[in-house]
Amino acid sequence: MRTLCKTLWVVFFFLILSSTGFCATKKVVIVHHSDTHGHICSYPDFLASETDRMEVGGFASLKTFIDKVKEKEVSSDTLFLLLDSGDFFQGTPVVDETKGECMFRFMNALGYNASALGNHEYDYGQKRFSELAANASFPILCCNVFNKEDGKCPEYFKPYLMLDFQNTKVAVIGITTPEMPQLVLDGLIDGLEFRNPVPILNSLIPELREKGARIVIILSHLGILLDKTLLSSIDADLVLGGHSHRKYDQIEYLGDRKVPLIHPGADLRGASKVTLEFDDEPGKKGVTSLQYEPVLLFLASYTEDEQIKKLSDEYMFEIRKKTSEVIGTSEVDLKRGVVGGDSQAGAFVADAMREYSGADFAFANLGGVRFPINKGPITLEQIFLLQPFPNTVEIIEMTASEITHMIEQSLSVPFYKITPQEKEMVKTEMHVEAEGMIRDFGGRFGHLIPSNLIITFNPERPSGQRIISLVDGNGKQLEKDVKYKVAFNSFISSGGDGYAFLKDFKNRKYTDLIIRDLIVKKIRDLKVIKDLPKPRLINQKLIIQEPKPTE
C-alpha cells in the first residue's frame, strides 16, 4: 500500500509539472537570414560556375523550407523563431520601386518574429521607414540607437523582444553598427545617435536574466569584425550576425565565454537553421546542445510556395518588362573580388565613371559593387544588381599628395591572415584560391578600387606607410604640382564609408551622371566585354589564382 501511494505521488507530481509546462530540457528551432537586399524572388545563382547556375533564393523557396522545418522538427514542445539580422532594403529594382514596401509585405506574410535594424533600412528616409515599421506584424529590434533630443529609443523600433514559452522566457535583443553615420548618406539619419552596444548589453542582459530570461539571443548587424571585437565578453547564449554578407559553414565561438556566432550569407541565397536545447531546471543556465545547419535555397530542393510565388510574380511582372532587355554580352567573368585585393567588377565600374566623366582618375567603393558580371548575355536587371544605388559622379580636384593620403587611409584598416573557412568560401563562391592577408568587409574606411591608377601595397607595414608604389595607368609617377580630377560616387564624396575629409575639398564638380547609366553606356558601346580589366590594386601579401584542376 505504501509503495502504491508513493507511485501515485510520483505520477501526480509529473502531471503537475506537465500541466504547468515545466520541463528540464526545452528546444528552440530558429530559421535565420540577413542582408536580403530586396531579393524577393529566385535568381540564377551568380556564385555558381558558368555551367551550374541553378535558380536559388527568394521568399517562396524560403517559405517551403520553413514549412519543412516545422513539419519535421517543431511540435508543441518546441519554440520556433523566424529572425532576420537586417538590411532587407536596397539592392533590387522592385525594392527600390516600392521604397521598401514589398519587403514588409513578404515578411508579414511569412510571419517573422523579429528583425534587427540594418544600415540600409534608412535608405528611403526615417519617415518612410517608420511608417512601414509601424504597420509591420513583427518588431524591428535595436537597443543602441537613440534620439539626440531626448535620449530615448525611436518609437518605430524596440530594444528587445521577450517571448514566453511554456513558462520559460527567451529574450531576443537587436543591435546595429555604431558606424552607421559613415554608411548612410547625409541627412537620412539626422537627429539619431548610434552608440557602442557593449555597455548597453552589459546592463540590459543581466536585467533580462533577472526578469526570467533563460536564453538570450543577439540579432546583430555589426559585421563579423565588430562581432568578434565587441561581443566576445557579453553574457549571451547565441549571436546571429549580419552585415558582412558572409556565410558560415560552422559555428565560431567568441572569447572565453565561448559565445556561439553564426553568419548566414546574403541576398536570401540561403538561410541558417539553428536548433538549441537548454536546461530549464531552476538554478541552471545555458545551452546544453546547439546544432547549426546552413541551407542553400535551391528551387530544385525547395519548390516555391504557390501563394508566395504568386505574390512575387505580381510585383515582378512590370519590373521585368523594364529590366529584361539585353544590353550586351561578356566573354569573361568579372568577379567581385576578395576584400583586401583587386576587384574586376569594381574596376569596370571605376573605369566607366572615369571614361564618361572626363576625370583623370576614379575610385569605386567595393561596398557599392554588389554582384559580379558573369559570362553571357547582360541585362539591365543585372546592372541594377551590380550597382543598385542611385549614386551620381562627383569630381574633386586633388593633388598627388592628397590622393596618396586618401589611399593610405583606405588601406589603414586591420588586415589578417585568411582562415581555412574563408579560403573554402572564396573557392566555392568566387571560384578562385586565396592565400595571404585580407580585410573585413566593414572597417573604418571602405575598400576602394581605382581607375587609371596602379597601387601596390603591403598590409603588414604600419598604417600610413603601406603604399609601395603609386603610378598612373601608364606607369608614370604622379606630378607634384598638378591638380588632378578624381571621380567618386556621391556617397563617397559626401563622406560615406569613412571618407568624411572629402567633404572639405572646395574645388569640386557635381554632375547628374548616374553611375548605373554609365555602366550601361560602357557595355552598349563595347557590345561585347572581351577582356578582364588590368590589375590595379596589388596586395603584396595576397595571392589569388584559379583553382587547380581536379584529377
Encode pLDDT of 426-438 as tens digits: 888 888 899 999 9
Q: What is the mean pLDDT of residues 229-256?
A: 93
**3 state DSSP class of 477:** strand
Residue 5 located in a structural domain: no
Encode pLDDT of 367-376 as tens digits: 889 889 999 9
- Residue 219's nearest CA partner among 452, 421, 32, 354 is 32
Does the global pTM surpass 0.75?
yes
Q: Which one of 290, 313, 336 terminates a domain?
A: 313
Inter-residue contact 117 to 177 (CB < 8 Å): no
Give the pLDDT score at 310: 97
Kindly tell me if the per-residue pLDDT of 1 is higher than 60. Answer: no
Q: What is the mean pLDDT of residues 130-147?
A: 96
- Residue 509's nearest CA partner among 398, 397, 406 is 397
Q: Which one of 313, 337, 364 terminates a domain?
A: 313
Q: What is the mean pLDDT of residues 496-523?
A: 94
Round the CA-based radius of gyration of the chain to a whole number and report it.
25
Q: 76 Cβ partners below 8 Å, 6+ apart?
A: none
**3 state DSSP class of 180:** helix
- Looking at the structure, tell me whether residues 52 and 152 fall in a common domain: yes
Residue 391 located in a structural domain: yes
- Looking at the structure, tell me whether residues 223 and 372 fall in a common domain: no
- Looking at the structure, tell me whether residues 137 and 62 fall in a common domain: yes
Q: What is the mean pLDDT of residues 249-273?
A: 94
Highest mean pLDDT among 23-37, 53-67, 277-291: 53-67
- Looking at the structure, tell me whether residues 397 and 282 fall in a common domain: no
Q: What CATH number did the domain enclosing 27 receive?
A: 3.60.21.10
Residue 72 located in a structural domain: yes
Question: The C-alpha cell of 156 is what?
Answer: 518605430
Give the pLDDT score at 524: 97
Q: Which one of 313, 338, 363 terminates a domain?
A: 313
Give the pLDDT score at 393: 96
pLDDT, greater one: 77 or 103: 103
- Looking at the structure, tell me whether residues 102 and 208 fall in a common domain: yes
Give the burial string for 334-361 (b: 16+ CB within 10 Å, else e). bbbbbbbbbbbbbbbbbbbbbbbbebbb
Residue 380 located in a structural domain: yes
Kindly tell me if the per-residue pLDDT of 66 is higher than 90. Answer: yes
- Sheet harboring 433-439: ordered strands across? 415-417, 433-439, 542-545
Task: Give backbone dihedrals phi and psi of 478, rounded to 5 degrees, phi first.
Answer: -70, 145
Give the pLDDT score at 10: 43
CA end-to-end distance (rounded Å), the chain: 76
Distances from the Cα of 356 to the Cα of 117, 139, 507, angstroms: 37, 45, 20
- Looking at the structure, tell me whether residues 66 and 117 fall in a common domain: yes
β pairing state of 270-279 and 287-296: antiparallel
- Looking at the structure, tell me whether residues 333 and 304 fall in a common domain: no
Kindly tell me if the per-residue pLDDT of 262 is higher than 50. Answer: yes
Q: Beta-carbon neighbour count of residue 275 at 10 Å?
A: 16
What's the domain range around 64? 23-313
- Looking at the structure, tell me whether residues 125 and 250 fall in a common domain: yes
- Looking at the structure, tell me whether residues 293 and 334 fall in a common domain: no
524 burial level (CB within 10 Å; 0-12, 13-18, 19+): exposed
Residue 4 located in a structural domain: no
**3 state DSSP class of 408:** helix
Give the pLDDT score at 182: 84
Give the pLDDT score at 113: 98
Residue 8 located in a structural domain: no
Inter-residue contact 161 to 141 (CB < 8 Å): yes
Question: The C-alpha cell of 204 is what?
Answer: 540590459
Give the pLDDT score at 288: 87
Residue 226 located in a structural domain: yes
- Looking at the structure, tell me whether residues 390 and 513 fall in a common domain: yes
Residue 12 located in a structural domain: no
Give the pLDDT score at 285: 61
CA gap 535, 516 in Å, rounded: 22
- Looking at the structure, tell me whether residues 39 and 108 fall in a common domain: yes
Q: How many separate domains does the chain show?
A: 2
Q: What CATH number did the domain enclosing 453 receive?
A: 3.90.780.10
- Looking at the structure, tell me whether residues 295 and 404 fall in a common domain: no
Question: The C-alpha cell of 296 is what?
Answer: 542553400
